[in-house]
Homo-oligomer: A and B are copies of this chain.
Amino acid sequence: MFKDTSKQRKNLLTMAGEELDIVIRGGTLVTMSADMGVVENCFIGIKDGVVSFVTSAGEKSAPACMPKETIDASGCIVLPGLINTHTHLPMVCFRGMADDLPLMEWLTGHIFPAEAKFVDKEMVRAGATLALAEMIFSGTTTFCDAYFFESVVAEAALEAGMRAVVAQGFADFATPDNPRYEKMMAAAQRFLKRWQSCAPMITPAFFCHSPYTCSPTTLVNVKKAAREAGILYLLHLLENRDETEIIENRYGKNPVRHLFDLDVLDESTIAVHCNWADQKDMEILAAKGVGVSHNPESSMKLAAGVAPVAQMLERGITVGLGTDGAASNNDLDMFREMDSAAKIHKVTSLNPTVMSAATVLHMATAGGAQLLKMDHLIGSVEKGKKADIIIVDAKQPHLTPLYNCYSQLVYAARGADVKTSIIDGKIVMKDRQLLTIDLPSAIDRVNEIASRIISENK
């Protein structure tokens, strides 16, 4: 429309009277906004981290503008950045260390001992940084993490320019960052004080590991503190079949009823997994407004179970998608997670119409944003929302031809197809080059930690 010369750039303003930071032109935009609109030959303006306008470049009313940077997205699919609602980032250090084992042998024989021995601030920083690189490379722009030394994860996310919910963990046993578990609440209050208004890209939360590792007192006290601070409260729930028996033996009721009676279930509670939620459980979760993070690949690999997600959605429960940690997946690729989510529910119900591609893409974007209470900011590409946008290179054999963007993104695209990623209006990856992370050094540092793990296990 206009030639990009610096003279012109200085003189020309958008229709809104603003100079733009970035313009994306061409390609097909899958907005994931409420009307799920798809915009062909899209034209998106970004200014100060926010989407200024979304239109079609072919429209007569398309704004005249001269941005600092123009991204040509022709032949691409443009969509909101993916939202990974449950991860344990530093566990990438244990990726592939122990697989195909019974759950308790895996946990108590491999993961817990490795965590006791090797988790420290250095490991958390190295693992989180590598995981951030992996997530940016595969189209994730926001994640919700829970691990030890969570402030270090937050620092790494801030440096990498990713949007994050970082959850300080609680359990009734010693952890690498809290050798005396009675002091966890004091540590959590320090964590909260540091992060609650420090950086808009970082949102602190509290995470009780599970109803079987946290006493009723812990569950209640942490929820009380979370309510006072107005933050999210997360916990693993009903991941494995035997959790119900454990909780029934201990408290005389099933896990969801137990949590209900403790009054820790509300709209700011996120239950992770819920593989074994029955109709009554889902009724309670729906009534209390509890959201669910669905992590199908981890639960498939650990043989934990398949969450009844189609029924949850029917009941109006908000569901987001997550990868879980890389020790049980073994990657953080949300595209693979979408593919598995769409397929596993079809085959286990023998019904190919459940969990359509559009439903799954919604879980990975707008649904995840709702779950994390961020849907006023992210989850769709529309005017006024934060510019968290990814661009998928569709000019590839496995993405040819293109009949339906939802099908293509869920069933055929993969993380490696993401060409460019913008978070909060800043380009963090351009043409597969990371701009905010020193990748060779991130790889080296994790390899050094793995060498120590290997040599100590010999």
Judge whether A6 is part of the interface by a CB distance below 8 angstroms: no
CA distance A92 to B402 in the complex (A): 11
Measured between alpha carbons, how far is A443 from B397 in the docked complex, in Å?
6
**Is A306 among interface residues, defined by CB-CB distance under 8 A?**
yes
Q: Contact partner of A336 among B106, B305, B336, CB < 8 A?
A: B336
Of A97-105, A148-156, A171-179, the one contacting chain B is A97-105
Q: Check: A286 CB closer than 8 A to any chain B CB.
A: no
- With a CB–CB cut-off of 8 A, which chain B residues contact A103? 352
Q: Is the CB of B357 within 8 A of A443?
A: no
Please state if B304 and A347 are interface contacts (CB–CB under 8 Å). Answer: yes
Is A344 in contact with chain B by the CB < 8 A criterion?
Answer: yes
Chain B residues with Cβ under 8 A from A213's Cβ?
Answer: none
| Segment of A183-191, A377-385, A403-411, A420-428 in the binding face | A403-411
A102 near B330: Cβ-Cβ < 8 Å: no
Query: Interface segment, A26-34, A133-141, A192-200?
Result: A133-141
- Chain B residues whose CB sits within 8 angstroms of the CB of A403 once the complex forms: 95-97, 450, 453-454
- A17 interface contact, C-beta 8 A: no
Cross-chain contact A343 with B342 (CB below 8 angstroms)? no
Query: Which residues of A374-414 are within 8 A (CB) of B?
Result: 395-398, 400-404, 407-408, 411-412, 414
Known contacts A348-B348, A412-B95, A412-B96: does B401 contact A446 (CB below 8 Å)? yes
A350 surroundings in chain B (CB, below 8 A) = 241, 303, 305
Asked whether A401 lies within 8 Å of B357 as measured between CB atoms, the reply is no
Give CA–CA (A400, B95) in the complex, Å.
8
Interface status of A329 (Cβ within 8 A of chain B): yes
Measured CA separation A443–B349 after assembly (Å): 36
- Alpha-carbon separation in the docked complex, A434 to B133 (Å): 27
Known: A130-B397, A414-B414. A300 touches B96 (CB 8 A): no
For residue A239, CB closer than 8 A to chain B, the reply is: no
- CB-CB under 8 A from A214, the residues of chain B are none
A240 to chain B, nearest CB (A): 9
Q: Does A332 contact B (CB under 8 A)?
A: yes
Least CB separation from A136: chain B residue: B397
A15 within 8 A of B: no
Say how far A275's CB is from chain B's closest CB, in angstroms.
9
- Chain B contacts of A343 at CB under 8 A? 297, 300-301, 340
**B329 and A93 contacting across the interface, CB-CB below 8 Å:** no
Find out whether the CB atom of A330 lies under 8 angstroms from the CB atom of B407: yes
Nearest CB of chain B from residue A443's CB, rounded to whole Å: 5
Residues of B within 8 A of A299 (CB): 347
A95 to chain B, nearest CB (A): 6
Within 8 Å of chain B (Cβ to Cβ): is A339? yes
A221 at the interface (CB under 8 A from B): no
A297 to chain B, nearest CB (A): 6
Choice from B92, B331, B402, B411 contacting A99 with Cβ under 8 Å:
B411
| Complex CA–CA separation, A416 to B399 (angstroms) | 13
Specify which of B133, B333, B336, B352 is in contact with A102 (CB 8 Å cutoff).
Answer: B352
Return the chain B residue nearest A130 by Cβ. B397
- A306 CB to nearest chain B CB (Å): 6
- CB of B336 within 8 A of CB of A414, answer yes
Residues on B with C-beta less than 8 A from A402 are: 96, 450
The 5 closest A-B pairs by CB, nearest first: A401-B450, A416-B416, A300-B343, A96-B407, A134-B397
- A residues near B (Cβ < 8 Å) are 92-93, 95-97, 99-103, 106, 130-131, 133-134, 137-138, 241, 297, 299-306, 326, 329-333, 336, 339-340, 342-344, 346-353, 355-357, 395-398, 400-404, 407-408, 411-412, 414-417, 439, 442-443, 446-447, 449-450, 453-454
12 further contact pairs, Cβ within 8 A, besides A100-B407, A138-B398, A299-B347: A95-B400, A95-B401, A96-B402, A96-B404, A100-B346, A101-B352, A300-B346, A304-B347, A326-B412, A330-B407, A398-B415, A402-B450
